[in-house]
């Protein structure tokens, strides 16, 4: 399903073989299980999705997996990752799909910027074709987004039917208080719990408009400073389509209509894209609407029966594969339980939860951050008139953007407990902190969220427990390659781990410390990455600063990857064990 170079090594407790398939590496994991890169008996690459062991014995989750298999089989393989094999009744139920040799739309836009007009028109056709086939199979995708569009040779492929729902409805698969999806690409009717509108294929058409707009502008269409604010913009504001022109813009505008009955069907979109071409303008009233299609369908469409009462991230979703992956270039790329949103947020009666879901700006386009007037935060107060400010110097200083991930690291959330290392290394929670231990004189990593980050900033409190222990923060790290910031008691070292580097990594730069760090005392460590430039911080002081001037470290080897916490050792100093504590991590998907 995804390229072999995106896989990570198997963990000690991962299976090595399943149903005749040889597992090669981990592609990621989601709320229902893990996805592995594998080889079939004919030595072809495939992707194998395996349900979590703790869920395999629960009838509800096994049935949900069975439904996912059936839905995926219904969709024509030309527009998605073809289902090759499945065994929902296996002790570890699994699904095998084809390997798709192509990057995701989100990664392409992140790395290269918006698509050219010709490529954008081709993408719009490809995704509309896929939706036409998906809806023709009686399925509503419900999570169409840039990371679920793979740019395979020939035609784009739309993947991830893990949260799709049969048009006829599968009541047992989604609780009545739960909406699953990615906020920035959700249709307004999915967020408006008061109207209780039917869930129809029109929701996917809205997502098509948002995806095409992102591909053509490099920006999230309804960008805002938090996911609740994104939801409010979707329900109340016009889309930001600056940069789109001509008939394609008209199609996108129609697809992004607030009322699902006013949107064209996927087939309507496809017909207009194929017959009108990229340069012919549409005439008024030329697009048939969803209302006519809904009338013809009768009772075919399922109804969203939701009485949502809270706004919380879904705890089980760690996402990392293209079956369930947060997008570095997309706003609000987290699966949510959305509730209490319509009246409370619109009237300002519900304050935004502290530290909750600061939606990242798309790193593909730093300029996409919304202006204050473009983000209708419900609690915003009127802008004071010029006369209310005594002088220009009294203008408020722009506030630092809120992080999209905040964890105290006092309990297992994004960084799980690990105690299965044969050499005795562990990742545990102890004394309100995340304790990483190694018994050998080498590094040990504790895997965290599968977020793929390009431009980003992260801050975390670090305490060295034992002599010779160094805190390791790996970033832009994938498939054993990337960077490591190693914090020891007498120096901070930035290292690179590439194929031609020594086994322990290559030192890019050392920052000697004036005084040794006291063992057991926490120090705030920060990393800010913009393109090929890195800025490093320790205890509130910027290390990459000389004579009052920022002098960032520059290296162009790796453009994106994960953030991983762990422990390293330095020169065989001290004796086993070597331990490091972490707490209070914050992560931003943009540098500042």
What's the confidence (pLDDT) of residue 218? 94
What's the confidence (pLDDT) of residue 490? 93
Helices 202-217/290-297 angle, 10° precision? 150
What's the confidence (pLDDT) of residue 41? 86
What's the confidence (pLDDT) of residue 562? 94
What's the confidence (pLDDT) of residue 566? 96
Instruction: Tell me the domain boundaries of the chain.
Output: 4-98, 105-279+300-347, 405-588
What digits encode the pLDDT tens for the residues 12-50?
A: 888 999 888 999 988 877 656 788 899 998 888 998 988
- CA nearest 126: which of 327, 274, 287? 274
Task: Confirm or reject CATH 3.90.600.10 for domain 105-279+300-347, answering yes or no.
Answer: no
Contact 155, 134 (CB under 8 A): no
- Looking from the CA of 307 toward its CB, the CA atoms found within 13 Å total 0
Contact 205, 266 (CB under 8 A): yes
What's the confidence (pLDDT) of residue 277? 52
What's the confidence (pLDDT) of residue 391? 36
Contact 217, 209 (CB under 8 A): no
Fold of the 4-98 domain: Phosphorylase Kinase; domain 1 (3.30.200)
Task: Confirm or reject CATH 2.60.120.560 for domain 405-588, answering yes or no.
Answer: yes
* Residue 375: Cβ within 10 Å count: 19
- CA nearest 517: which of 544, 541, 484, 535? 541
β-pairing, 469-478 vs 562-569, is antiparallel
Q: Which of 54, 85, 89, 143 is catalytic?
A: 143
* Residue 56: Cβ within 10 Å count: 17
What's the confidence (pLDDT) of residue 496? 95
Contact 352, 379 (CB under 8 A): yes
Which stretches of the chain drop beneath a pLDDT of 50?
1-5, 163-180, 278-398
Tell whether pTM > 0.75: no
What digits encode the pLDDT tens for the residues 212-223?
A: 999 999 999 998
Contact 364, 348 (CB under 8 A): no
How far apart CA 213 and CA 114 sit, in angstroms, is 9
- Rounded to 10 degrees, what is the CA torsion of 307, 322, 105, 151? -130
* DSSP code of residue 184: G
Contact 362, 110 (CB under 8 A): yes
Query: How many DSSP H helices and E strands does the chain contain?
Result: 11, 29
How far apart CA 45 and CA 219 sit, in angstroms, is 34
What's the confidence (pLDDT) of residue 257? 94
Which residues, 6 or more positions from 163, have their beta carbon under 8 angstroms from its beta carbon?
142, 143, 180, 181, 335
- 456 backbone dihedrals φ, ψ, rounded to 5°: -165, 170
Which residues, 6 or more positions from 209, have their beta carbon under 8 angstroms from its beta carbon?
221, 239, 251, 252, 253, 254, 255, 256
143 flagged as catalytic: yes
Question: Is there a binding annotation on residue 197?
Answer: no
β-pairing, 578-588 vs 481-487, is unpaired
* DSSP code of residue 398: P
What's the confidence (pLDDT) of residue 311? 28
Distances (CA, A) of 10 to 50, 304, 425, 530: 14, 39, 16, 31
How far apart CA 137 and CA 167 sit, in angstroms, is 9
């Amino acid at each position: 399903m995804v390229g072999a170079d995106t896989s990570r090594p198997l963990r000690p407790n991962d299976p090595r073989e399943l149903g005749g398939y040889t597992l090669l590496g981990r592609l990621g994991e989601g709320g229902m299980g893990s996805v592995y890169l594998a080889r079939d008996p004919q030595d072809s690459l495939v992707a194998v999705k395996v349900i979590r062991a703790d869920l395999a014995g629960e009838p509800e989750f096994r049935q949900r997996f069975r439904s996912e298999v059936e839905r995926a089989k219904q969709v024509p393989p030309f527009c998605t990752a073809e289902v090759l094999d499945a065994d929902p009744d296996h002790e570890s139920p699994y699904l095998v799909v084809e390997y798709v040799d192509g990057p995701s739309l989100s990664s392409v836009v992140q790395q290269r910027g918006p698509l050219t007009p010709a490529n954008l028109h081709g993408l719009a056709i490809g995704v509309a074709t896929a939706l036409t086939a998906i809806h023709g199979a009686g399925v509503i995708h419900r999570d169409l987004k840039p990371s679920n569009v793979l740019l395979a040779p020939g035609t784009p492929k739309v993947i991830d039917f893990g949260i799709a729902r049969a048009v006829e409805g599968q009541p047992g698969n989604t609780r009545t208080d739960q909406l699953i999806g990615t906020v920035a690409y959700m249709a307004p009717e999915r967020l408006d719990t008061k109207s209780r509108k039917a869930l129809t294929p029109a929701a996917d058409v809205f997502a098509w408009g948002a995806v095409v707009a992102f591909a053509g502008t490099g920006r999230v269409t309804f960008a805002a400073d938090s996911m609740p604010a994104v939801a409010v913009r979707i329900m109340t504001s016009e889309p930001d389509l600056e940069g789109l022109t001509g008939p394609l813009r008209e199609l996108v505008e129609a697809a992004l209509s607030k009322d699902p009955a006013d949107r064209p069907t996927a087939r309507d979109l496809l017909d207009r894209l194929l017959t009108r071409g990229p340069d012919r303008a549409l005439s008024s009233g030329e697009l048939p609407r969803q209302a006519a299609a809904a009338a013809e369908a009768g009772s075919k469409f399922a109804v969203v029966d939701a009485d949502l009462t809270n706004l919380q991230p879904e705890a089980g979703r760690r996402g990392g594969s293209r079956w369930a992956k947060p997008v570095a270039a997309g706003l609000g790329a987290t699966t949510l339980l959305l509730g209490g949103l319509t009246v409370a947020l619109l009237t300002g009666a519900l304050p935004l939860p502290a530290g909750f879901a600061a939606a990242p700006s798309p790193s593909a386009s730093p300029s996409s951050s919304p202006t204050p007037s473009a983000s209708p935060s419900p609690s915003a107060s009127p802008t004071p008139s010029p006369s209310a400010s005594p002088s220009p110097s009294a203008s408020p200083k722009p506030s630092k953007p809120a992080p999209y991930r905040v964890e105290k690291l006092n309990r297992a959330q994004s960084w799980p407990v690990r105690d299965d290392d044969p050499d005795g290394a562990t990742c545990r929670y102890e004394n309100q902190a995340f304790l990483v231990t190694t018994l050998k004189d080498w590094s040990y990593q504790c895997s965290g969220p599968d977020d793929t980050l390009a431009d980003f900033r992260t801050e975390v409190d670090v305490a060295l427990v034992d002599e010779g222990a160094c805190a390791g923060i790996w970033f832009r790290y994938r498939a054993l390659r990337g960077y490591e910031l190693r914090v020891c008691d007498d120096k901070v070292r930035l290292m690179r781990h590439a194929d031609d580097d020594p086994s322990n990594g290559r030192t890019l730069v050392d920052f000697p410390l004036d005084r040794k760090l006291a063992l057991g005392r926490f120090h705030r460590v920060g990393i800010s990455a913009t393109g090929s430039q890195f800025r490093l911080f320790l205890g509130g002081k910027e290390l990459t600063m000389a004579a009052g001037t920022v002098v960032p470290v520059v290296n162009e080897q790796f453009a994106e990857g994960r953030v991983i916490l762990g422990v390293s050792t330095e020169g065989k100093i001290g004796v086993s064990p070597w331990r490091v504590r972490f707490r209070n991590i914050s992560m931003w998907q943009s540098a500042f």
